[in-house]
């Protein structure tokens, strides 16, 4: 695994929203194991995905393409992820508007081709990608779900088109053979696991149960969290891992396994089914309001979770989510694009994905997907700092090497095309089941 270090940032107070980053999947139930060993209720076992590799880099084309830049979106307008779509769609729209107001890319307006990703239960993503490739897009912003992205990544990369996710966090993408065409502004869960492990160990936990849904997001984050808890000094026989089917009708058996393990802390890595899990935990006396140290992650640490359980049941539950302080100015720009917007999760990451793609096209002097891909990492690091498309674009045209820092902060993309610096909110539910941000954890990956 790559070396990681953490530093604590300045405390702040705010509200975080539910951030769903990968779809769930289901399979058959399995057998219980003894306490201290991994338990899985599915056929798939969770392993730490290797991130020790030299990721492929895109090869520029032989000649530049100067037709107008077309950007597609592959974002959840329908399906189980639909609640996540509005802030991401708004972030993309604001970025396209501002790029065009500044004169566009190569002095031509950016064209936006919108599309729905659906979820893993449908073939919506493939249909959308086929249509957008047919319309000649050079970059596709999405998907939000890691599992959905894995369904279309080969098709997109083979077409020489950039795929740029604002929300994928699965570490499967770090070494994925994507021809250097896949990027993301969301940090990998290799980093979130470290932040989560720090939260748990700072509270003094010594015996930990980790429950996670069976999909690339859940199994990967769970495996890395266990690894980081062990690195922090918790013995392996003091940790149990339970991988569950998120589509199950009941989670009583899994929760009973947790109770029998008798932990002093429980991490639940899940999505909307987390409400059922926590309700059952409360019924058997091990919920957060019962005094148990309970933690969540970006898939469930949102106010929507609080609305799905009994009043006060979540009091004291803590967790992490990729989070930066985007500020009221950006929120107002988003609301101008979508007056009905109430959540802002991954809006900044969506905005930055568009701006980075536009700047990479300017740097390449080409709107071809492979040329954009070959320049994305370079415009985010090791140059003169700039924070707007117009300023960065003008510096590029003046022959300067730029380092774009976006609304999500410093990016400094590494060779895998993802942020090497990540900010996580340290969140906590209050007595009214609403979230506050107690602090920020900054994670640096060397």
Q: Provide mean pLDDT across the span 216-225.
A: 90
- Among residues 104, 113, 109, the alpha carbon closest in space to that of 72 is found at 113
Q: What is the pLDDT of residues 297-318, one digit of tens each?
A: 988 988 889 999 999 999 999 9
Residue carrying structure tokens 């500044």? 102
Residue 27 has pLDDT above 70, yes or no: no
Q: In this structure, are strands 293-296 and 265-269 parallel, antiparallel, or unpaired?
A: parallel
Cα separation, 26 vs 139, in Å, equals 31
- DSSP E strand stretches across 297-356: 318-322
Average pLDDT, the chain: 88
Quick one: pLDDT band at residue 45, thresholds 50, 70, 90?
very low
Per cent of the chain over pLDDT 90 is 73
Predicted confidence (pLDDT) per residue in 327-351, tens digit: 899 999 999 999 998 878 889 999 9
Q: Calculate what percentage of the chain has a pLDDT beyond 70.
A: 89
Which of 184, 211, 194, 328 is closest to 266 using CA atoms? 211
217 vs 257, residue with greater confidence: 257
The residue ranking higher by pLDDT, 117 or 5, is 117
Residue 419 pairs in a beta bridge with 413
Decide if 117 contacts 81 (C-beta within 8 A).
Answer: yes
Residues 242-275 have pLDDT tens digits of 999 999 999 999 999 999 999 999 999 998 899 9
For the cut 50, the answer to whether the pLDDT of residue 296 exceeds it is yes
Cα gap 358→71, rounded to integer Å = 9
User: In the predicted model, is pLDDT for residue 10 greater than 70?
Assistant: no
- With CA atoms as reference, report the closest residue to 299 among 14, 23, 13: 23
State the pLDDT at residue 272: 87
Residues 123-179: tens digit of each pLDDT:
999 999 999 999 999 999 999 998 899 999 999 999 999 999 999 988 889 999 999
Q: Is the predicted pLDDT of residue 2 greater than 80, yes or no?
A: no
Taking 80 as the threshold, does the pLDDT of residue 201 lie above it?
Answer: yes
Structural domains of the chain in order of their starting residue, each with its CATH number: 70-186+346-415 (3.40.50.2300), 190-324+423-444 (3.40.50.2300)
Q: What is the pLDDT of residue 28?
A: 34
């Amino acid at each position: 695994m790559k070396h990681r270090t953490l530093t604590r940032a300045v405390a702040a107070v705010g509200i975080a929203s539910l951030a769903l980053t990968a779809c769930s999947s289901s399979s058959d139930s399995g057998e219980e194991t003894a306490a201290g060993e991994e338990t899985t209720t599915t056929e798939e076992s969770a392993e730490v995905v290797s991130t020790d590799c030299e990721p492929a880099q895109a090869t520029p084309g032989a000649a530049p393409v100067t037709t107008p830049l077309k950007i597609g979106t592959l974002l959840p307008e329908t399906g189980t992820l639909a609640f996540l779509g509005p802030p991401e769609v708004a972030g993309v729209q604001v970025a396209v508007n501002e790029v065009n107001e500044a004169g566009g890319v190569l002095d031509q307006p950016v064209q936006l081709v919108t599309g729905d990703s659906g979820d893993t239960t449908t073939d919506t993503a493939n249909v959308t990608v086929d249509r957008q490739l047919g319309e000649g897009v050079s970059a596709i912003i999405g998907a939000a779900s890691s599992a959905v992205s894995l369904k279309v990544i080969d098709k997109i990369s083979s077409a020489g088109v950039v795929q740029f996710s604002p929300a994928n966090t699965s570490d499967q993408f770090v070494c994925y053979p994507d021809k250097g065409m896949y990027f993301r502004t969301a940090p990998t869960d290799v980093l979130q696991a470290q932040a989560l492990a720090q939260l748990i160990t700072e509270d003094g936990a010594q015996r930990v149960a980790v429950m996670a849904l069976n999909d690339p997001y859940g199994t990967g984050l769970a495996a890395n969290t266990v690894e980081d808890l062990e690195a922090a000094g918790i013995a392996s026989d003091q940790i149990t891992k339970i991988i569950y089917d998120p589509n199950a009708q009941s989670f009583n058996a899994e929760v009973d396994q947790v109770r029998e393990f008798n932990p002093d802390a429980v991490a639940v890595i899940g999505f909307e089914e987390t409400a059922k899990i926590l309700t059952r935990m409360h019924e058997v006396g091990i919920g957060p309001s019962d005094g148990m140290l309970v933690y969540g992650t970006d898939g469930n640490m949102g106010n929507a979770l609080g609305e799905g359980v009994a009043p006060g049941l979540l009091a004291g539950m803590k967790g992490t989510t990729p989070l930066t302080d985007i500020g009221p100015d950006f929120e107002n720009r988003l609301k101008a694009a979508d007056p009905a917007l109430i959540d802002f999760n991954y809006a900044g990451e969506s905005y930055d994905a568009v701006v980075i793609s536009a700047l990479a096209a300017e740097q390449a002097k080409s709107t071809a997907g492979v040329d954009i891909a070959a320049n994305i990492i370079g415009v985010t690091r090791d140059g003169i700092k700039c924070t707007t498309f117009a300023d960065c674009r003008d510096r590029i045209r003046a022959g300067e090497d730029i380092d774009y820092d976006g609304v999500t902060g410093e990016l400094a993309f590494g060779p895998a095309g993802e942020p090497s610096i990540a900010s996580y909110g340290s969140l906590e539910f209050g007595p009214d089941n609403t979230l506050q941000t107690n602090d920020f954890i900054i994670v640096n990956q060397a």
